[in-house]
Amino acid sequence: MANNDKDADFMDYVDSVKRKEMREQRQAEAQRLRQEWRETTWAGGIINIVEKLHIASFFTAIGNSFEKGEDSTSFYLTSLVYKIGIISASIITVYLLGWFMRLLTGDEIILDEEVVIVEKVTKSQEEAEERAAKMNKSKSQ
């Protein structure tokens, strides 16, 4: 029985070593994939920049301040800044779209219209105007 216990203990030890090796291999693979993600994606590049600027602790502190939930002041202020940012981004987007459309259409839209009035004068109208002119001439003398 003592021999069986030693064999079982040894097998447990071998199993735990194998599990430990497998866990280390998985962690190494996960680390390799994380590094690949940081080198090939925009988000990974941003995280690298944050770490190089040593401001990761700032973001960690902000995350830790949310432990109280939605009742905390930091959550309220961050939510407010987020909403202001969304509104500002919307206004800037509309402004940029207007600027782009103005580039396409030009600064001013000028409409030039020329109005031509064509009047048809009949012979009787012409004679009536001549008579009226003669009458005005004779009255003024």
Q: Which tens digits make up the pLDDT trace of 95-117?
A: 999 999 888 887 776 778 888 88
42 compared with 137, residue with greater pLDDT? 42
Cβ atoms within 10 A of the Cβ of 22, count?
Answer: 10
| 26: its two tokens | 């998985």
Give the whole-angstrom CA distance, residue 17 versus residue 90: 57
pTM score, two decimals? 0.37
**What's the length of the chain?**
141
Cα–Cα distance between 94 and 86 in angstroms, integer?
A: 12
pLDDT, residue 4, reads 67
Mean pLDDT of the chain: 84
CA atoms within 13 A on the CB side of 9: 6
Coil vs helix vs strand at 127: helix
For residues 38 and 44, is the Cβ–Cβ distance under 8 A?
Answer: yes
Query: What amino acid occupies position 38?
Result: R
pLDDT given for residue 108 in this prediction: 72
The pLDDT, as a whole number, for residue 3 is 63
End-to-end CA distance of the chain: 155
pLDDT digits (tens, 9 = 90+) for 11-54: 788 888 999 999 999 999 999 998 898 889 988 888 888 888 88
Burial label, 119 (beta-carbon count in 10 A; 0-12, 13-18, 19+)? exposed
